[in-house]
Chains A and B, each alone.
Chain A
């Protein structure tokens, strides 16, 4: 059942076995596992419940209703970088591209060797969980009939340059290529948590509380006993009524790498690592202009990728179809010049560099809300520029007539493959680029010893019983690949371990 705090407008005081904070990839997966143990569970979501029937293809209403801070959340540093997160039932899985990647061996190996997490996060067990999740969520490569031109052109580039690239694998059943993943799949084809694990859990008795913000975890001595919070109007954080949810067996925090450290800090958890080591995957896009129509708005939102330089360059190239509102804003020009660019927008393909940054930032509760700091390192900027050059080479290989850079200090347009090198020697100041930051990690990282992290290898906060963190906050590093499956696999592992502990 769903208890919508915005509609119910009354206080609540109930007792459960487990209270799960957050309904995204991690929280929903934990609920899906724990409900099978017969436990009584509440999943608490700060955002509203938005149904498939309510999804529209307009960005502003979607931002207002389903994105954290109406899409205005930013990381501060040398540049302002938007930090994109869903804030609705199902979390970011409702508004992402549902891309499937397992943690690559080269990423997991240091987790074992350097961080000592080989036993806590055993790769063979994770593969078993990933098998299950991929099966249950229908992971499959993007079918050619829904590639659309934006994705097909990368296939052409791949064949012409002989680089490693392939259609993405995504969780979907019956995708119609409407390129509307970012505002919620209108066909219910994307297998987000909203249409998979949350209904599974809800049908088996899990209570889903929406528009419900958790203020703090109730700690009795060294044990978590529940959470307190308030129902609110999510967009404006206007409080409606308080709630107290008691947990007999445990509180599982799955609020994301941005919200989890703040919640732990408000609850009295202290660690020098809390809110530190914040990592992510900053991305920057280039637009290729083609003679033929690309019609970006038909085809899988993100359907093709190149991992050619994933290891040696720490970047991946992805096709990306932005909604018209966001794409037109990225086109250069003022007045007549801008209108002319807009009029030709059907001829534009858009591909982005997703960078596995070395940068480590911080997240803390500030006077005006969550304060996110993030600054790319000089090596990150070198890798980014290499990635942009590689992206331009791919676009030209696919037949682009010109490439729109959108980089301050570089020509507005590159008109031949020879000019792609300009991108590699471009400015090293992050403020010259337009980024978005997605895939967020590390702010309550797991460690064997309390001196090195926030969460122990049993997923409980060091020196605290019954308070578990199961989201990407605990990751010791970023991944360089899309993290939904990694997050879900680790949450599944955590939920099984926690259930076994409490048997």
Chain B
């Protein structure tokens, strides 16, 4: 089960209704279900990598823009600035943790059929929706 803080971090990273043709955010793409599967089936190193990345985004990223942690104290523009600062941090480990965060989120988001449709990914011959129709 995702904590409220984790949800806010991930929703800041990939929000809903942020673009007219791509309305889906990470939680519209079934991230709750993905997280449960991820916790059950991913290697411990992957799971801990993601948890550490969320922790760093929550507690360290705000400090990079001279704001107090946790990230969840702040409004969305401030949270976005903090995460952007983490992505561009001079500390390699923070940049890498941000990559872990984005990559893991995309394992879910990029696999979502609605997202794929919205970005122009072609319907595959073995897509279950094609077989149903």
Contacts and interface: CB of A to CB of B under 8 A. Distances in A.
For chain B, which range describes its interface: under 10, 10 to 19, 20 to 34, or 35 or more residues?
A: 35 or more
A428 to B, nearest CB: 14
Interface in A408-431: 408, 431
A338 to B, nearest CB: 6
Contacts of A1: none
Given A64-B41, A70-B43, A329-B106, A324 B15 contact: no
A324 B95 CA distance: 21
Contacts of A180: 124
Interface stretch (A18-26, A37-45, A54-62, A356-364): A54-62
Contacts of A408: 88, 95
B103 A329 contact: yes
Contacts of B87: 332, 334
Interface in B87-133: 87-88, 92, 95-96, 99, 102-103, 105-111, 115-116, 118-122, 124-126
A342 B118 CA distance: 10
A345 to B, nearest CB: 5
B76 interface: yes
Given A70-B43, A235-B43, A334 B110 contact: no
B92 to A, nearest CB: 5
A450 B18 CA distance: 63
A328 B24 CA distance: 14
A128 to B, nearest CB: 39
Q: Is the interface of B mostly helix, strand, loop or mixed?
A: helix
B36 interface: no
B18 A336 contact: yes
A343 interface: yes
Interface in A288-340: 293, 295, 297-298, 323-329, 332-340
Contacts, number: 118
B124 to A, nearest CB: 6
B99 A434 contact: yes
B72 to A, nearest CB: 15
Given A297-B121, A339-B15, A334 B43 contact: no
Interface residues of A, number: 43
B43 A338 contact: no
Contact of A334 (B80, B106, B108, B115): B80
Nearest to A345: B119
A132 interface: no
B76 A186 contact: no
A60 B105 CA distance: 11
Given A60-B107, A324-B111, A334-B83, A293 B43 contact: no
Nearest to A186: B126
A325 B124 contact: no
B120 A295 contact: yes
Contacts of B80: 334-337
A325 B106 contact: yes
Contacts of A335: 12-15, 18, 76, 79-80, 83
B84 interface: yes
A340 B118 CA distance: 12
Given A57-B124, A297-B122, A325 B107 contact: yes
Contacts of A64: 41-42
A340 B22 CA distance: 8
Interface string B32-56: 0010001001110110010000000
Given A334-B83, A339-B14, A56 B126 contact: yes
7 contacts: A60-B38, A235-B43, A293-B120, A325-B109, A339-B14, A343-B19, A345-B120
* Those 8 A-B pairs whose CB atoms lie nearest each other, nearest first: A325-B110, A346-B120, A324-B110, A329-B106, A339-B18, A335-B80, A60-B107, A343-B22
Given A69-B45, A70-B42, A298-B122, 20 more contacts: A59-B110, A60-B108, A72-B49, A178-B125, A186-B124, A295-B120, A324-B119, A326-B106, A328-B119, A329-B106, A334-B87, A335-B14, A335-B15, A335-B18, A336-B19, A338-B14, A339-B15, A340-B19, A342-B119, A343-B119
